[in-house]
Amino acid sequence: MKSVKTEDGNSIRTIVDRFSSVRVLVVGDVLLDRFQYGKIERISPEAPVPVFCPSRTIEMPGGAGNTAMNLSCLGCSVQLVARTGRDKMSKRLGDILDDNGVAVTFFHQDNCCTAIKTRLIAGNNHVMRIDEEQVVELDGKLTVLVADMVKEKIAECDIVVLSDYGKGFLGAKLTEKIIGYCRTAGKPVVVDPKGRDYQKYVGATLVKPNLKEFSDVSGKRFNPVGEGFQKELIRAAGDFLARCNIGGLLITLGEYGMLYVPSEKPVNGAIYLPTRAQEVFDVSGAGDTTIAALAAAMGAGAGMADAMQIANAAAGIVVGKLGTASVSAEELDSALSNAGASPRRKIVSVDELQREVTRLKKQGKKIGFTNGCFDCCHLGHLTSLRKARKLCDVLVVGVNSDAWIRANKGPGRPIQDEATRTALLAELECVDFVVVFGDRTALPLVRKLRPNVIAKEGYALKDWPEGRFVKSIGGSAVTLKRVDGYSTTAIAERMRRQ
């Protein structure tokens, strides 16, 4: 077995650069992921249950839709074929996907409704999920129509992804037909599986179960922290592959990484990769991100070791986000270029930040902004940053450049250079992005980012052009109360007197 070591970041990043030329066809179950954010502040007088008070709702595609969104976000050209009901949720899904660059073909089935999963989130805590769905087999007439359309689209793609969520769309007959068409056309097909019937995946290039799914289908249980875990898993995977004609298994192991076992030489050809995830907020849709990044890399010509590196980095990024999330090519490029560092790279350029903010806004995230020198980060700064973060989903901190501080505060400042100041801010949990700017005021940066809320200590609106601009575009400008007794200038003066 080979353990993947960190490869040359530049060579793997070259693969990411080729994503824009990759054409992917996604076929599978779509659903609408709805996230209701709110507060829980009391217990119901009617029963010993918490009272959830919703404040806002975000909707985004889930299942195969999330896989397609991830592929589009990575820069690939994406077509999605799926089934929905004849309802308004079908149109809502189609509109969101279309807005995010996914070419959609939905087949409507009369006795089927579009699946909805609603998650209730209080603060950063996921407290409940409500599922509205049906498992309905694809009818015979639609099976023929879908198969014929997929056969045509296979000729236009580089790789096919089957996203099976067990809702009845990817039944055995349709799945077998699609895999057969792919084999005839010489196109790789990767499968995100569901259930225990892997016979319908026979002929697939790769099937990606998680550890529980593989345990269920193999009938064996595995202990990731037990002695000999990897050897046992490889042996079981090899035995399983010997019974079916599947090119290989990529078994995702959550916090323990991922393991690839090929059908040929399963022991010597196996590849293990430890996880890159550093800080986990939400695993919703992480499997969709993994298979999307893997398919993009394979479509770009990557070998399995490099494709796993890319998929692993993407998974490490997405679990650090709340809600069903996607990963941009810029985020992935940053993570791969900073091997060994946190994949949630916070210190970014203005251009990178502008692209990321645009992407996050499309997901319905509330963007917050504050700025300052932060020359000597003290309790006053920390308190303001924490307050600002409570006003938004994502907090951007603009930091004055060294040159600006020298020009405006004298040759003795800054006490700490911008590399140090930004690094310290990036370590704070309440800060999501840090960017250095050299303009006289933060207004040009604010105009580019167009945040939903801006917050700063002690500024009246009449003296705060950035605040007036944010209000003019429908946002909020919040004046934060200053914590008395803290000032970088005063601290520096006290230090000089010591």
Residue with tokens 């009246």: 460
Count CB atoms within 10 A of the CB of residue 126: 17
Beta strand pairing call for 271-273 and 2-3: parallel
What the block records as the tokens of 1 is 């077995």
- The candidate with the shortest Cα–Cα distance to 79, out of 96, 51, 101, 61, is 101
- Phi then psi dihedrals of residue 21, to 5 deg: -100, 0
- The candidate with the shortest Cα–Cα distance to 479, out of 467, 493, 469, is 467
Would you say 115 and 167 are in contact if contact means Cβ atoms under 8 Å apart?
yes
Among the listed residues 288, 306, 393, 402, the single catalytic one is: 288
Angle in degrees, CA 38, 44, 49, rounded to 5: 80
Residue 288 is a catalytic residue: yes
CA distance linking residue 60 with residue 39, whole number of Å: 21
CA distance linking residue 311 with residue 273, whole number of Å: 10
What the block records as the tokens of 461 is 């609106």
Residue with tokens 């990411």: 16
Print burial letters for 416-452: b (CB count within 10 Å at least 16), e (below 16): bebeebbebbbebeebbbbbbbeeeebbebbeebbbb
Q: Which residues are catalytic?
A: 288
